[in-house]
Amino acid sequence: MAARQGPLVCPLCKGELRADAARAIDRLVTGDGPFTVSECRSCSYGVTVPQLRGAELDRYYAGEYFGGFYDDGSKPASGVLERAREIFRGRAARRRFGHAPYAVSGLEPGRVLDVGCGSGELLAHYAARGWDTFGIDPAPRAVAAARRRGLLVHEGTLADRPWRTAEFDLIVFSHSLEHIPEPLAALREAVGALAPHGRLALALPNWRCWQRHLFGGRWFHLDLPRHLQHFSPRALQVAADLLGLEVVEIGTNSTVISGAYSIHYLLAGRWTPGWKLWLAYGLGAVTFPPMALINRLAGADCCYALLQAPSADSRRL
């Protein structure tokens, strides 16, 4: 399937798109590029250009995407440094899952669906807290890793509709929506699968954060060309309005990995296992406290939205 050059107007608000708001190569897998991002002046939403599809995009999910940074659990950690990295990742995940939008207050455990569930780490977190868990992911390697955890996961997308509609109390897109070619269509599918008063939790990189401006094309969360969409808190508000969902909370939060891997790209240019990577881990840990403090004032590297579906009566109106 041929790549598309991207829309001329913003898919969310139909505002003007400014070309070349960011430019970077693929630093994780191939070194291809550069790819660019066009930004909407009105709602701060970004679109990667070109918009790769099908087999053209699949090749950017090979190699280091699962085998390096996105560990699928297929190989046990070997050596002191790899075990330290495993501990680092585990603690970062537990910290992340304990905050919005994953920690859903006022909602009793029910049925949760994780869209783009990867190896199932978040689903395992919910299962341990009494939730009935389901996952969807298009990557066979990710699905296999999740199933090794004993999780029920469908290989495919929401468009397959593997489960009946209006049944999930919580649907989560945890750093997956930015990978989806038609995010509004996917969100509408999700809204159709929510129970009345169900919650939709979205977590994504924050396109408008100060770290992107600091690191430029070496900002880790840019992740071109895999990140097809680039959201901001303002763009999440526009999406909520388009979907007819009530906003429970929209905000930003800090991740440990953003600084560490952005520093790695500054040092090495591309994902490079070895001493530069381990040095970046150490520098990332040291710089995280001051970066988190700046995040409180200027907006953190990730943004999130917790949205609520209307009641059954409201849907019939």
For residue 153, list its beta bridge partners: 135
Q: Are 192 and 295 in contact (CB under 8 A)?
A: no
Structure confidence at residue 228 (pLDDT): 97
**Number of domains present in the structure of the chain:** 1
210, 213, 190: which is closest to 294 by C-alpha? 210
12 within some domain? no
241 within some domain? yes
pLDDT tens for 228-261 read 999 999 999 999 999 999 999 999 998 888 899 9
9 within some domain? no
Highest mean pLDDT: which range of 31-40, 102-111, 155-164: 31-40
257 within some domain? yes
Helices 233-243, 183-192: axis angle to 10 degrees equals 50
Q: Are 240 and 305 in contact (CB under 8 A)?
A: yes
Q: How many CA atoms lie within 13 A of 239 on its CB side?
A: 29
3-state secondary structure of 82: helix
Structure confidence at residue 277 (pLDDT): 85
| Whether the predicted pLDDT of 159 surpasses 60 | yes
Q: Are 246 and 307 in contact (CB under 8 A)?
A: yes
202, 139, 146, 199: which is closest to 170 by C-alpha? 199
CA-based end-to-end distance of the chain: 40
DSSP 217: G
Please state, in angstroms and rounded to a whole number, the distance separating the CA atoms of residues 186 and 156.
12
| Res. 198 pLDDT band, cuts 50 70 90 | very high
153 within some domain? yes
From 81-90, 175-184, 196-205, the region with the lowest mean pLDDT? 81-90
Structure confidence at residue 247 (pLDDT): 97
Structure confidence at residue 52 (pLDDT): 93
1 within some domain? no
Mean pLDDT of 33-58: 93
Structure confidence at residue 1 (pLDDT): 45
> Whole-number mean pLDDT of the chain?
88
* Structural domain of 309: 17-316
The total number of residues shown for the chain amounts to: 317
In the block, residue with structure tokens 């970077």:
24
| Whether the predicted pLDDT of 22 surpasses 50 | yes
| Res. 33 pLDDT band, cuts 50 70 90 | very high
Q: Are 29 and 38 in contact (CB under 8 A)?
A: no
Mean pLDDT of 267-296: 89
85 within some domain? yes
Structure confidence at residue 93 (pLDDT): 73
| Whether the predicted pLDDT of 69 surpasses 90 | no
The domain that holds 158 is classified in CATH as 3.40.50.150
6 within some domain? no
Structure confidence at residue 37 (pLDDT): 96
Higher pLDDT: 127 or 93? It is 127
| Res. 273 pLDDT band, cuts 50 70 90 | confident
pLDDT tens for 182-195 read 999 999 999 999 99
